Amino acid sequence: MDIFDSKIVTPMLVGKNQQAFDSPDYIYELKLDGIRCLAYLWENGLELQNKRNKKLNSIYPELKDIYKQAKVRCLLDGELLILKDGKPDFFEVQRRSLMANPVKIEIASKKLPVCFIAYDILYLKDKQIIDLPLMERKKLLPENITESDHITISRYIETEGVALYNAAQNQGLEGVMAKRKDSKYYFGKKTKSWIKMKALLDEDFIVCGYYFKESSVVNVILGSFLRERMIYQSHVSMGISREDYRIMTSAEETTRSYYSNFPNFENAIWLKPKLVCCVQFMERTPNGGLRQPVFKGLRDDKLPNECIVMAY
Protein backbone atom coordinates (compact mmCIF):
# COMPACT_ATOMS: atom_id res chain seq x y z
CA MET A 1 0.00 0.00 0.00
CA ASP A 2 1.35 3.41 -0.97
CA ILE A 3 0.74 5.69 2.02
CA PHE A 4 0.64 8.79 -0.18
CA ASP A 5 -2.17 7.41 -2.33
CA SER A 6 -4.17 5.94 0.55
CA LYS A 7 -3.78 8.96 2.88
CA ILE A 8 -4.91 7.00 5.93
CA VAL A 9 -1.83 7.14 8.18
CA THR A 10 -1.80 8.98 11.51
CA PRO A 11 1.13 10.80 13.14
CA MET A 12 3.53 9.40 15.71
CA LEU A 13 2.86 10.48 19.29
CA VAL A 14 4.87 11.58 22.31
CA GLY A 15 5.41 8.71 24.72
CA LYS A 16 6.99 10.38 27.72
CA ASN A 17 7.03 13.53 29.88
CA GLN A 18 10.01 14.47 32.01
CA GLN A 19 12.13 17.34 33.30
CA ALA A 20 14.54 19.15 31.00
CA PHE A 21 17.87 17.42 30.35
CA ASP A 22 20.99 17.64 28.19
CA SER A 23 22.20 14.83 25.96
CA PRO A 24 24.32 14.51 22.80
CA ASP A 25 21.92 11.79 21.63
CA TYR A 26 18.96 14.17 21.26
CA ILE A 27 17.92 17.24 19.36
CA TYR A 28 15.68 19.85 20.98
CA GLU A 29 12.98 21.99 19.40
CA LEU A 30 10.22 24.20 20.74
CA LYS A 31 6.96 22.53 21.76
CA LEU A 32 4.40 24.37 19.65
CA ASP A 33 0.93 25.09 21.04
CA GLY A 34 -1.11 24.28 17.94
CA ILE A 35 -2.93 21.46 16.14
CA ARG A 36 -1.07 18.45 14.77
CA CYS A 37 -1.36 18.11 11.00
CA LEU A 38 -0.13 15.88 8.19
CA ALA A 39 0.37 17.72 4.89
CA TYR A 40 0.35 15.80 1.61
CA LEU A 41 1.95 18.00 -1.06
CA TRP A 42 2.17 17.20 -4.77
CA GLU A 43 2.70 19.01 -8.06
CA ASN A 44 -0.66 20.76 -8.25
CA GLY A 45 -2.37 20.29 -4.93
CA LEU A 46 -2.37 19.41 -1.26
CA GLU A 47 -4.39 17.69 1.41
CA LEU A 48 -4.25 18.61 5.08
CA GLN A 49 -5.39 16.06 7.67
CA ASN A 50 -5.63 16.05 11.45
CA LYS A 51 -4.92 13.09 13.74
CA ARG A 52 -8.32 11.57 12.91
CA ASN A 53 -7.76 11.80 9.13
CA LYS A 54 -10.26 14.64 8.89
CA LYS A 55 -9.59 16.84 5.85
CA LEU A 56 -8.79 20.41 6.84
CA ASN A 57 -8.35 22.23 3.51
CA SER A 58 -11.67 24.09 3.73
CA ILE A 59 -10.97 25.24 7.29
CA TYR A 60 -7.57 26.75 6.45
CA PRO A 61 -7.94 28.27 2.96
CA GLU A 62 -4.87 30.51 3.46
CA LEU A 63 -2.72 27.37 3.11
CA LYS A 64 -4.09 26.36 -0.28
CA ASP A 65 -0.88 27.25 -2.17
CA ILE A 66 1.77 25.77 0.13
CA TYR A 67 2.16 22.82 -2.25
CA LYS A 68 4.09 25.25 -4.48
CA GLN A 69 6.83 25.34 -1.83
CA ALA A 70 7.57 21.62 -2.27
CA LYS A 71 10.15 20.65 -4.89
CA VAL A 72 8.81 17.08 -5.12
CA ARG A 73 5.84 15.07 -3.89
CA CYS A 74 6.12 14.64 -0.15
CA LEU A 75 4.33 14.06 3.15
CA LEU A 76 5.12 16.40 6.04
CA ASP A 77 4.37 16.07 9.74
CA GLY A 78 3.88 19.37 11.49
CA GLU A 79 1.73 21.78 13.45
CA LEU A 80 -0.88 24.37 12.53
CA LEU A 81 -0.26 27.59 14.43
CA ILE A 82 -1.87 30.96 14.85
CA LEU A 83 0.45 33.62 16.22
CA LYS A 84 -1.12 36.31 18.38
CA ASP A 85 1.02 39.00 19.99
CA GLY A 86 4.06 37.08 18.77
CA LYS A 87 3.18 33.79 20.48
CA PRO A 88 1.25 30.64 19.47
CA ASP A 89 -2.38 30.89 20.55
CA PHE A 90 -4.01 27.48 21.01
CA PHE A 91 -7.46 28.95 21.66
CA GLU A 92 -7.54 30.76 18.31
CA VAL A 93 -6.38 27.80 16.21
CA GLN A 94 -8.74 25.46 18.05
CA ARG A 95 -11.61 27.91 17.58
CA ARG A 96 -10.90 27.90 13.86
CA SER A 97 -10.88 24.09 13.74
CA LEU A 98 -14.49 24.05 14.95
CA MET A 99 -15.73 26.53 12.33
CA ALA A 100 -17.97 25.39 9.48
CA ASN A 101 -19.33 28.63 8.00
CA PRO A 102 -17.24 29.50 4.87
CA VAL A 103 -17.78 33.23 5.34
CA LYS A 104 -16.58 33.19 8.96
CA ILE A 105 -13.62 31.01 7.97
CA GLU A 106 -12.62 33.44 5.23
CA ILE A 107 -12.79 36.40 7.62
CA ALA A 108 -10.79 34.53 10.26
CA SER A 109 -8.14 33.45 7.74
CA LYS A 110 -7.42 37.08 6.90
CA LYS A 111 -7.56 38.39 10.47
CA LEU A 112 -5.46 35.65 12.09
CA PRO A 113 -3.86 33.48 9.37
CA VAL A 114 -2.60 29.99 10.10
CA CYS A 115 0.95 28.84 9.42
CA PHE A 116 2.12 25.25 8.93
CA ILE A 117 5.33 24.41 10.83
CA ALA A 118 7.02 21.31 9.36
CA TYR A 119 9.20 19.25 11.69
CA ASP A 120 9.45 15.95 9.82
CA ILE A 121 9.28 14.54 6.30
CA LEU A 122 7.86 11.03 5.95
CA TYR A 123 7.49 10.44 2.21
CA LEU A 124 9.62 11.73 -0.65
CA LYS A 125 9.06 11.45 -4.40
CA ASP A 126 7.68 7.91 -4.60
CA LYS A 127 8.48 6.16 -1.30
CA GLN A 128 8.13 6.47 2.46
CA ILE A 129 11.30 7.32 4.37
CA ILE A 130 10.20 6.63 7.95
CA ASP A 131 12.98 4.06 8.46
CA LEU A 132 15.65 6.70 7.98
CA PRO A 133 17.15 8.11 11.20
CA LEU A 134 15.61 11.39 12.33
CA MET A 135 18.72 13.43 11.49
CA GLU A 136 18.65 12.23 7.87
CA ARG A 137 14.99 13.17 7.58
CA LYS A 138 15.72 16.57 9.14
CA LYS A 139 18.39 17.15 6.48
CA LEU A 140 15.92 16.34 3.70
CA LEU A 141 13.35 18.92 4.89
CA PRO A 142 15.14 22.15 3.80
CA GLU A 143 16.45 20.40 0.69
CA ASN A 144 12.90 19.85 -0.54
CA ILE A 145 10.80 22.61 1.08
CA THR A 146 11.12 26.33 0.40
CA GLU A 147 9.77 28.45 3.23
CA SER A 148 7.12 31.16 2.83
CA ASP A 149 4.72 33.18 5.00
CA HIS A 150 2.46 30.12 5.34
CA ILE A 151 4.93 27.26 5.67
CA THR A 152 8.19 27.10 7.59
CA ILE A 153 10.56 24.49 9.00
CA SER A 154 11.00 23.91 12.73
CA ARG A 155 14.46 24.85 14.03
CA TYR A 156 16.32 22.72 16.53
CA ILE A 157 19.50 22.68 18.60
CA GLU A 158 21.68 19.78 19.71
CA THR A 159 22.75 18.76 23.24
CA GLU A 160 21.61 21.90 25.13
CA GLY A 161 18.10 20.91 26.14
CA VAL A 162 18.09 22.70 29.51
CA ALA A 163 19.18 26.00 27.99
CA LEU A 164 16.42 25.88 25.37
CA TYR A 165 13.87 24.92 27.98
CA ASN A 166 14.86 27.85 30.19
CA ALA A 167 14.71 30.23 27.23
CA ALA A 168 11.25 28.95 26.32
CA GLN A 169 10.03 29.46 29.88
CA ASN A 170 11.43 33.00 29.98
CA GLN A 171 9.48 33.82 26.82
CA GLY A 172 6.27 32.30 28.15
CA LEU A 173 6.29 29.49 25.57
CA GLU A 174 4.87 26.02 26.11
CA GLY A 175 8.00 23.94 26.44
CA VAL A 176 10.48 21.81 24.49
CA MET A 177 10.45 18.51 22.61
CA ALA A 178 13.47 16.18 22.84
CA LYS A 179 13.89 13.67 20.00
CA ARG A 180 16.49 10.94 19.66
CA LYS A 181 18.76 11.57 16.69
CA ASP A 182 18.66 7.96 15.53
CA SER A 183 14.90 7.46 15.96
CA LYS A 184 12.68 6.07 13.23
CA TYR A 185 9.08 7.18 12.68
CA TYR A 186 6.16 4.93 13.60
CA PHE A 187 2.73 5.91 12.33
CA GLY A 188 0.07 6.16 15.02
CA LYS A 189 2.28 4.92 17.86
CA LYS A 190 3.59 6.48 21.06
CA THR A 191 7.35 6.38 21.34
CA LYS A 192 9.73 7.21 24.17
CA SER A 193 12.12 8.50 21.52
CA TRP A 194 10.06 11.71 21.74
CA ILE A 195 10.02 13.37 25.16
CA LYS A 196 7.93 16.36 26.19
CA MET A 197 9.52 18.80 28.63
CA LYS A 198 7.05 21.34 30.02
CA ALA A 199 6.56 23.42 33.15
CA LEU A 200 2.82 23.28 32.54
CA LEU A 201 1.45 19.90 31.51
CA ASP A 202 -1.55 19.35 29.30
CA GLU A 203 -3.69 16.32 28.65
CA ASP A 204 -6.83 15.42 26.73
CA PHE A 205 -9.94 14.31 28.65
CA ILE A 206 -13.47 13.17 27.93
CA VAL A 207 -16.14 15.75 28.77
CA CYS A 208 -18.46 13.66 30.98
CA GLY A 209 -20.75 16.42 32.18
CA TYR A 210 -20.93 19.72 34.02
CA TYR A 211 -22.45 21.34 37.09
CA PHE A 212 -22.77 24.84 38.53
CA LYS A 213 -21.45 26.27 41.75
CA GLU A 214 -23.52 28.76 43.75
CA SER A 215 -21.70 31.58 41.96
CA SER A 216 -23.05 30.20 38.63
CA VAL A 217 -19.54 29.17 37.60
CA VAL A 218 -19.66 26.10 35.36
CA ASN A 219 -17.47 23.13 36.29
CA VAL A 220 -16.67 20.56 33.61
CA ILE A 221 -16.39 16.94 34.77
CA LEU A 222 -13.41 15.13 33.22
CA GLY A 223 -12.84 11.45 32.60
CA SER A 224 -10.34 9.09 30.95
CA PHE A 225 -10.08 5.41 30.19
CA LEU A 226 -8.10 3.06 32.40
CA ARG A 227 -8.00 -0.43 30.87
CA GLU A 228 -11.33 -0.02 29.02
CA ARG A 229 -13.06 1.43 32.09
CA MET A 230 -13.86 5.13 32.25
CA ILE A 231 -12.76 6.77 35.48
CA TYR A 232 -13.16 10.21 37.00
CA GLN A 233 -10.09 12.44 36.65
CA SER A 234 -10.96 15.91 37.90
CA HIS A 235 -13.12 18.94 37.17
CA VAL A 236 -12.19 22.33 35.73
CA SER A 237 -13.85 25.74 35.74
CA MET A 238 -11.17 28.17 34.54
CA GLY A 239 -10.78 29.10 30.87
CA ILE A 240 -14.08 27.86 29.41
CA SER A 241 -15.01 30.00 26.41
CA ARG A 242 -18.53 31.01 25.49
CA GLU A 243 -18.44 28.89 22.33
CA ASP A 244 -17.19 25.78 24.14
CA TYR A 245 -19.87 26.31 26.78
CA ARG A 246 -22.52 26.53 24.06
CA ILE A 247 -21.36 23.27 22.48
CA MET A 248 -21.28 21.42 25.81
CA THR A 249 -24.72 22.63 26.93
CA SER A 250 -26.25 21.55 23.62
CA ALA A 251 -24.59 18.11 23.63
CA GLU A 252 -26.54 14.87 24.07
CA GLU A 253 -27.25 14.09 27.70
CA THR A 254 -27.29 10.76 29.53
CA THR A 255 -28.16 9.51 33.01
CA ARG A 256 -26.15 9.47 36.21
CA SER A 257 -26.02 5.66 36.07
CA TYR A 258 -23.71 5.88 33.05
CA TYR A 259 -21.07 7.33 35.39
CA SER A 260 -21.98 5.36 38.52
CA ASN A 261 -18.34 5.16 39.66
CA PHE A 262 -17.89 8.97 39.47
CA PRO A 263 -18.40 11.33 42.43
CA ASN A 264 -22.04 12.34 42.76
CA PHE A 265 -21.94 16.06 41.94
CA GLU A 266 -25.16 17.79 42.99
CA ASN A 267 -27.41 18.79 40.06
CA ALA A 268 -24.83 17.61 37.51
CA ILE A 269 -25.80 17.40 33.84
CA TRP A 270 -24.24 14.19 32.52
CA LEU A 271 -23.26 13.95 28.85
CA LYS A 272 -22.69 11.03 26.55
CA PRO A 273 -18.91 10.61 26.13
CA LYS A 274 -18.53 12.21 22.71
CA LEU A 275 -16.65 15.46 23.40
CA VAL A 276 -12.92 15.72 24.06
CA CYS A 277 -11.16 18.71 25.63
CA CYS A 278 -7.59 19.74 26.39
CA VAL A 279 -6.75 20.84 29.95
CA GLN A 280 -3.52 22.46 31.14
CA PHE A 281 -2.34 22.00 34.72
CA MET A 282 0.67 22.37 37.01
CA GLU A 283 1.02 18.77 38.15
CA ARG A 284 -0.81 15.67 39.32
CA THR A 285 -1.82 15.64 42.98
CA PRO A 286 -0.95 12.59 45.15
CA ASN A 287 -4.48 11.19 44.62
CA GLY A 288 -4.28 11.64 40.85
CA GLY A 289 -6.15 14.94 40.51
CA LEU A 290 -5.03 18.03 38.61
CA ARG A 291 -3.44 20.99 40.34
CA GLN A 292 -4.56 24.41 39.02
CA PRO A 293 -6.32 23.09 35.89
CA VAL A 294 -7.25 25.45 33.05
CA PHE A 295 -9.62 24.50 30.23
CA LYS A 296 -7.79 25.10 26.92
CA GLY A 297 -10.62 24.14 24.58
CA LEU A 298 -12.65 21.42 22.92
CA ARG A 299 -10.93 19.51 20.14
CA ASP A 300 -12.29 17.51 17.23
CA ASP A 301 -9.04 15.78 16.25
CA LYS A 302 -9.17 13.14 18.97
CA LEU A 303 -11.69 10.41 19.84
CA PRO A 304 -12.90 9.77 23.41
CA ASN A 305 -11.41 6.25 23.42
CA GLU A 306 -7.99 7.81 22.83
CA CYS A 307 -8.16 9.59 26.19
CA ILE A 308 -6.18 7.14 28.29
CA VAL A 309 -4.80 7.74 31.78
CA MET A 310 -1.22 8.94 31.54
CA ALA A 311 1.50 8.43 34.14
CA TYR A 312 3.57 11.37 35.39
Residue 312 has pLDDT above 50, yes or no: no
Mind listing the domains of the chain with CATH numbers? 12-32+155-198 (3.30.1490.70), 33-153 (3.30.470.30), 201-306 (2.40.50.140)
- pLDDT tens string 270-300: 999 999 999 999 888 877 788 889 999 999 8
3-state secondary structure of 52: coil
Percent over 90 (pLDDT), the chain = 77
What does pTM read for this prediction? 0.82
CA distance 19 to 2: 39
Percent over 70 (pLDDT), the chain = 99
List of residues 6+ apart from 202 with CB closer than 8 A:
278, 279, 280, 281, 296
- pLDDT tens string 196-206: 998 778 899 99
pLDDT of 247: 94
Q: What region does 33 belong to: left with phi over 0, alpha with psi -120 to 50, or beta?
A: beta
Q: Model confidence at 310, in pLDDT bands (50, 70, 90)?
A: low
Burial letters 70-79, b for 16+ CB under 10 A, else e: beebbbbbbb
- pLDDT tens string 87-124: 898 889 988 998 999 999 999 999 999 999 999 999 99
Residue 54 has pLDDT above 60, yes or no: yes
List of residues 6+ apart from 5 with CB closer than 8 A:
none
